[in-house]
Every structure is written in structure tokens, then in C-alpha cells.
Amino acid sequence: MFESLWYNKTKLITLAAVLILSGCGSSSSGSKTPPPPANIAPTANAGADQSVVRMEAVTLDGSGSTDSDGTIASYAWTQTAGTAVTLDTAAPAMPTFMSPDTPAGEDLTFSLTVTDNDGATSTANTVTITVSANSAPTADAGPDQTVSAVDVVTLDGSVSSDSDGTIAGYAWTQTTGTDVTLDETVPPMPTFTAPNVGGNEVLTFELVVTDNDGAVSLADTVIVTVDPTLALPFADNFTDGNFDGWTTIDDDVTNASTWDASSNRMVNNNETHRNFGDIDETYHRGTYAYLTDSVNLTNYRYEVDITQRTSSLEDLGVMFRYTDNDHYYRFSMNASKGFARLESKAGVARFEGLG
């Protein structure tokens, strides 16, 4: 009896101990922390390729770089090809530089790697910056012109241009027409005096420009037409009511002349000589007026329109001085005798008919 009871107690105690140990083991297993996931490396994006001109400010763009499980902590840019440039990394994701002055053009290559906030570094991504070659300048010789003889003419190449630099030189060449001398004190706008020609003449000039990199343009042409009839060497319509600058002469006349400016004309209001006797004598005498400060021109073509009053009996003529005040050619008309002729006068001699 005693023995049996002891045995059972022992088994109960053993069972309790097992249950206690089993409970303790279950409680310990529920308190463990699972390991964190592995960090994912960031992705570098060096931006789109670009085409730029020489000496242009360029901005690289790595702002599109990403990190799926964190943030970008740093950017590392490296130039891998082309003329070396200096990167300004004040803004690390978007550094800047000045493209090199390489007239032939070239490609610059840059590599970007980024590091995230956990220290992981991306693989490199590259971008290419293409620096364009120098472009030739464009010559513009200016608009065609029509001028009068002996005018001072200005050619105008000032609107010639260079898309990627500046114009360094202007070369003008005359290709047709009477030779003239260009004054190239102002190279883009040379001047010359139009030749004194008797009829229309065409002068042609070519312009070639060179830019600051030595590139030469194609030639551009300008045409200057010289028309000697465009302008008179002198004109006076007497609208001011006087004939200042004119000198009047009475050549052995019976009555003194009385000149005035009226109705936009310079008129002698007094009959200075009547036709009494020898027609040659009366024909060669009279009153006339000439421009005191006349323009000094040679080989110039003149055209004059003359209207004589129907009732007028006086001689009417147009004189052209040569050499000095005593040497003239005169085209004369005589209304009363109904003829006209060309005369000359040299020195103190009378006007003599030339045919």
C-alpha cells in the first residue's frame, strides 16, 4: 500500500515537471525578431544626350536618378572622353561647364554613379554632349543701288552674320564696270565716287567675309547702276524770291536789264536791245545770268528744256562755260528770224556759229 502510493506520486510530479518545461519552451520561441530585407542599390540616370555650340554653358542632369528603398546621398560625375572641362558641382545633381572652343566639333562623354543613404552605389550611366563644328559665316553685300554720276556711294555689308561667332574680316572686289577706288576705312561699309559717265553703267561688287575661326563665306554680289540723268549738278527754282548766287551781265545793251525772281522763275523784265541793223551784231549782244559758284564737272551730259514766248522777238540761249568766264558754248534761238544754232565764244571775241 505504501509503496503503490509513492509510485503514483512520483509519476505525477514527473508529469508536472514535463508540462512546466514544455510551456517554458513555447514562450521562448514566440519572442524572436525576423531579419531586415537586403538594401537595394540606387539607379543612376545621367540625363539625355545634348547638342551644343562652342563656348556655350552646359548643364548635366542627374536629377532623374532614383533609389527604390531610400534616398540618393551623393552624385559622382566623371568625364570619360573629349577635351577636358571643369565641372561646377555646386548643385551635385546638375553640374555645369562651358563647352570647349573646338572649331572642328567633338563629343564629350560623362559617367554618373550615385550612392544611397545606406552606402550602396549604382552602376555607371553615361551621357554624350556633342559640340557642333564651326559654321561658316554669311556674307550680305547689301541692296542694289541706283546712283547718279559723281555721287559718293556707300556699299553696306554690315548685316553679314556668323551664327556661332563674329565677323573678323570683309573682302570687297569689283567685278564689272569702270574701275573705282574703294575707301575701306570702315571695312563693312566702303565708299567710292561713282564714275562720271555719259550713259547708264553697271558696277558689280562681291563681298566675302571671314569669321573669328577663319571660316570663309560664299560671295554675295551687289549691283550699283550709275544713271547720270538722276540729278542735276545744280538746280534753282527761285521759290525763295531771289536769285542769290547768280551774276547778271549786260553785254553792250541799249537798255540796262532789270532781273527779279518771280513765279518760280528768274526773269529780265526790261528790253535790253532792239533789232536795229546787223543781225549778227544784235544776235551776239544782250543780257545774261550765270551761276557764280557753279559745280566743276567734266564730260557731263546736259539736258535743257526751253520755252520761248510766241510774241517774243528776242534771242534766247543757253550757255555752258568752259575754262573761264570768257569761254562759252551757247545754243541760241531767234524767234523773229526763226532759226537756232550752236555758237562758241573764246576770250573777247563775239559768239561764232559752229554750224
The residue type at 41: A
Given a cut of 70, whether residue 295 has pLDDT beyond it is no
Q: What is the pLDDT of residue 78?
A: 98
Residues 220 and 254 in one domain: no
Residues 105 and 152 in one domain: no
Read off the CATH number of the domain in which 71 is found: 2.60.40.10
Structural domain includes residue 8: no
Band of pLDDT at residue 108, cut at 50, 70 and 90: very high
Structural domain includes residue 318: yes
Using a pLDDT cut of 90, give the percent of the chain over it. 48
The per-residue pLDDT for range 14-35, each reduced to its tens digit, is 444 444 444 444 444 556 888 8
Q: What is the pLDDT of residue 87?
A: 97
Structural domain includes residue 169: yes
The residue type at 221: T
Number of domains in the chain: 3
A 10 A CB-CB count for 73 gives 15
- pTM comes to 0.51
**CA–CA separation, 201 and 50 (whole Å):** 54
**CA–CA separation, 280 and 295 (whole Å):** 31
The per-residue pLDDT for range 135-187, each reduced to its tens digit, is 999 999 999 999 988 899 999 999 999 998 899 999 999 999 999 999 999 99
- The mean of the pLDDT values for the chain is 80
Given a cut of 70, whether residue 232 has pLDDT beyond it is no
Structural domain includes residue 259: yes
Q: What is the pLDDT of residue 29?
A: 52
**CA–CA separation, 302 and 320 (whole Å):** 9
Mean pLDDT over 303-311 rounds to 56
Structural domain includes residue 181: yes
Structural domain includes residue 233: no
**CA distances (Å), origin 1, targets 7, 9, 10, 134, 179:** 10, 13, 15, 120, 155
Cell of 299: 564730260
Answer for the pair 195, 226: CB distance below 8 angstroms, yes or no: yes
**CA distances (Å), origin 102, targets 55, 56, 83, 213, 223:** 9, 12, 9, 9, 37
Q: What is the pLDDT of residue 291?
A: 65
Higher-confidence residue of 94 and 240: namely 94
Provide the residue range defining the domain that includes 293.
246-353
Question: How far out from the chain centre does Cα 297 lie?
Answer: 36
Rg (CA), the chain: 52
